[in-house]
Amino acid sequence: MTAPLIELVDIEKHFGPVIALNGVSVSVKAGECHCLLGDNGAGKSTFIKTMSGVHKQTAGKILMEGKEVNFNSPRAAMEAGIATVYQDLAMIPLMSVTRNFWMGREPQKRVGPFKFFDFSEANEITMTEMAKMGIRLRSPDQAVGTLSGGERQTVAISRAVYFGAKVLILDEPTSALGVRQTSNVLATIDKVRKKGIGVVFITHNVRHAMAVGDRFTVLNRGKTLGTAERGEINAEELQDLMAGGQELAELEGSLGGTI
C-alpha cells in the first residue's frame, strides 16, 4: 500500500498548562476527502494550524508520504504541498479575481530592463482554472466582492490547486453559505478529490460531511473519538459522537424527554 499523503501521529499541543490537543492521529490519502468533525472547542482549529505549520506540535510527529517532516512556518508547509483555505479567505473584495488569484505569485513579462505583471497570461489562466471548477466569470477583471460566497470559496480552492497543493485543508468552507452555494462548494471539493489531491474538510455540519466524505474523524476536547470510513457510520451516529450522545441522553432523561 502507498503511504498516506500526510499522517499526523499522536499529536499533542500545549499552550502553557492548557492541553489543546492530546494525542490526535489522522492520515489523509491521495484522492480522498477526510472530514474532521467536532463542536466548538473540540480542537479542530488548533489541529489544522499544527498541520499547516502555524503551530509547532509539543509532541508527536508529522509524516509526508512516509517521511517525517518538521514545519517551522506556514511557508514551509506550503512548499511541501499543504494549502489551507481559511474561513476569511484572505481576499481583497475590491480587487479583481485575477489579482486575488495571483496575489504574490504574479507572472511577469520583461520589456527591456523592466518587469511587468503579465495580465494577458494571468487572465487567461484564471478564466481557464475557474472554468475547470465550474465557475464562468463574466470577466477576469470582475471584482471578487461581486462574487457569491461559494464562488469566492472556489477562487481560493482553485488558486491552491493551481499552485500545486497535494493536501488541501478547508476550514469550515460551507459554514456561512446558503443551500445553492453550499452545493457548489461541495461539488468543487469532489472535483479536487478526483485530481488525486487529499482534502481535509473541517466542519461541524454532519450532512455536508456525509455528502462528500470518504473517512470521518471526530474530535472532542482535544482527543479523537475514532475514525470511520463511508458506510461504517451513519449521520445520526456521527452527530451523537460530535454532540456527546451519552451526555445528551442523560440530560434528556433528567428533563423528562423534552430535548
Per residue of the chain (259 residues), give pLDDT as tens: 577 999 999 999 999 999 999 999 999 999 999 999 988 888 898 999 999 999 999 999 999 998 999 999 999 999 999 999 987 777 889 999 999 999 888 888 888 888 888 999 999 999 999 999 988 888 989 999 999 888 999 999 999 999 999 999 999 998 888 888 999 999 999 999 999 999 999 998 999 999 999 999 999 888 888 899 999 988 888 888 887 655 545 555 566 555 4
In sequence order, the β-bridge partners of residue 69 are 62
DSSP string across 158-197? HHHHHTT-SEEEEESTTTT--HHHHHHHHHHHHHHHHTT-
Domain count, the chain: 1
β-pairing verdict for 198-203 and 33-37: parallel
Q: Which grid cell is 178?
A: 446558503
In sequence order, the β-bridge partners of residue 216 are 35, 228
Distance between CA atoms of 163 and 100, rounded to whole angstroms? 13
pLDDT of 247: 52
Distance between CA atoms of 112 and 240, rounded to whole angstroms? 65
Contact 213, 230 (CB under 8 A): yes
With cell 479567505, the residue in question is 89
Q: Which domain holds residue 204?
A: 6-91+166-254
Question: How many separate helices (H) and strands (E) can be counted in the chain?
Answer: 9, 12
> Degrees (nearest 5) of the Cα angle 80, 86, 90?
95
Question: Could you tell me the pTM of the whole model?
Answer: 0.87
pLDDT of 252: 54
CB atoms within 10 A of CB 92: 13
Distance between CA atoms of 25 and 9, rounded to whole angstroms? 5
Give the closest residue to 31 by CA, choosing from 10, 51, 2: 2
Distance between CA atoms of 232 and 95, rounded to whole angstroms? 45
- Whether residue 148 is contained in a domain is answered as no
Q: Which grid cell is 243?
A: 454532540
Distance between CA atoms of 112 and 239, rounded to whole angstroms? 62
- Whether residue 117 is contained in a domain is answered as no
- Whether residue 112 is contained in a domain is answered as no
Q: CATH number of the domain that 81 lies in?
A: 3.40.50.300
- Whether residue 132 is contained in a domain is answered as no
- Whether residue 247 is contained in a domain is answered as yes
